[in-house]
Each structure stands twice: as C-alpha cells, then as structure tokens.
Amino acid sequence: MGALTVLPVAYHLEAPVINGSGFAPFLGGAVLKQSEPWARNLLRDDQGDHVSDRNPHLSELSVLYAAWKNHPEWTHYGIAHYRRFFVARPNWIQRWLVQPEHRPWAALDPWTPAFSLKPEDLKGQDLIVSTTRTYRESLRADYLRWHDARDLAVLEQAMERHHPGLSADWNRFLDSSHDLTPFNMLFGAREHVDRYCAWLFPMLLDADRELGQRPDGYAARHASFLAERLFSFYLQHERISVRRLPVVQLGQKSANRYPLLHGTYDWLKRR
C-alpha cells in the first residue's frame, strides 16, 4: 500500500474551500457552531477523540489534534489554514509573487497545485515548516509585549509536570532566541508529526485548562500563540531536521501591486 498523504486545512469562517485529493478541509470548533451550508462537506474536528470545544483557544490546533487522534490511515499529514498555505512548487510567476503577505481569494484555484504536498517534498528532512520570522527582541520580550505574563508562568508549570527538567532549556531559549517559526503549520511523515503532537498536546491542554477563558477573540487564542513558541523551541531542542517553505496568505480583495516592496516594509515593521 502506498503512502496516503493528506494535508488537513483548518476552516472556522466561511471562505473558498480548497479542492483536491491531497487536502482534507476541516471545520474547526465544529462542536460550537451551528450547521451552515458552506461547511456541509467539510470534515469536522468534533468526531472521535477531539478538543473541538477548545478551538477558540487552540485555533487550527484543534484540527491537528483531530487528525492525529482519528486518522491513523494517513501516512503523511500536518496542518495548514484556510487562508495560509505552504508553497511547494510555484510556477515562475507565482515564485516572484510569493511573499509573507496577502493574495486574493480569487487566486485560490490557480494556486492549488503549488499548495499540494507530497512525501518527496520533504527532501529527506523530518518536517516541512514555514520560513522563520526574526524579531529585534527576544521571543520572551516579544510575547510579553502583546500577551499576558501569566501565560508563560502557567505553561512552565505544565511543562515541568509533563517534561520534568525541560523548563530550564525552555527559559534559555525564550531569552536568547529571536527567531519564530510561525503559524503552527507543519507537514511530515506520521512518525514525526505524531511525535510532536504527543510532546505538545498534553502539556498545552493542561496549561490551557488552568488559564481558562479570555475576554475577546484575539486574547482567547493564548494556547495557539504559546504553541508557536513551543514549536520553535521543539525544532531546536530536539534537533528536528526541517525544510522551510514560504507561506502565502489569502484574504484581501486584491494582491499588493509591489510584493517585494510590501514584504520588505512588513519585515521592517516587525524589527
């Protein structure tokens, strides 16, 4: 039996649904949503073993959890977003356009071949992940600029419960690293993705239970923001070999006319 390669794609709002046998569109937070026509043909993250009710905190990770727990037939899998995809094989025009910025929804279908992933795209590496985002501040300082300091304290306690002794390395990483692997996106063979999920979810869900509810949609996604930092740490600490691919983001009505200039401006804003 050959490899069954599937890239789950997390949806939580109405948007054009990506087509193709290599994609598995999921409705994230399905247990919290009423049935809507646009999502009728999507897989749901509330079937089998799930954390669908935690989607407001976990974002796309509730779909990754569902894929991990309920689809052992997938030999290669990972997670992408309804508006963010890896670009594995762009044509020459798309290659010029790829920047960490928005592309129009209308461009989804022409991009689909570039978004599909195959085992050979790993090129001998353990995982495909996004390109890094570098900050002038340390990852700890950047997190504290936008989020609650209690998040890190509670996470450290959960880390010690699930991975005793790891928090010292974690704290050194937060204070010394300026490079984030963003978006919680990845793809790889089951053994490598499963290993990460088994490392991440018990600890993250434990911390999320203690942190509880947040007052608004952005702040409520604390578990997802913590997971981005945890993933960056995991890749370094566990010496995971990675192939980094650019990520294209969909959603604006029109693409920026000067993507290279726009991408450079965005990079300068983050520094």
- Give the mean pLDDT of 113-133: 95
Residue 64 clears pLDDT 60, i.e. is over it: yes
pLDDT above 90 covers a percentage of the chain that reads 70
Query: Residue 260 has what pLDDT?
Result: 44
Rounded Cα distance between 257 and 225, Å, is 30
Question: Is residue 254 very low, low, confident or very high in pLDDT (cuts 50, 70, 90)?
Answer: very low
DSSP assignment string, 6-54? -EEEEE-S--PPP-STTEEEEETTGGGS---GGGTTSEETTSSS--GGG
Calculate the CA 202 to chain-centre distance: 17
Of residues 61 and 113, the one with the higher pLDDT is 61
Out of 48-57, 124-133, 215-224, pick the least confident: 215-224
Of residues 113 and 243, the one with the higher pLDDT is 243
Of residues 182 and 261, the one with the higher pLDDT is 182
Query: Residue 96 has what pLDDT?
Result: 63
Query: Residue 93 has what pLDDT?
Result: 62
Question: Is residue 153 very low, low, confident or very high in pLDDT (cuts 50, 70, 90)?
Answer: very high
Of residues 156 and 113, the one with the higher pLDDT is 156
Query: Residue 114 has what pLDDT?
Result: 87
Out of 11-25, 128-142, 149-163, pick the least confident: 11-25
Of residues 251 and 245, the one with the higher pLDDT is 245
pTM of the model: 0.89
Rounded Cα distance between 104 and 80, Å, is 17
- Give the mean pLDDT of 61-67: 98
Q: What angle do CA 143, 268, 260 make, to 5 degrees?
A: 125
Q: Residue 24, class by beta-carbon neighbours within 10 Å (0-12 exposed, 13-18 middle, 19+ buried)?
A: buried
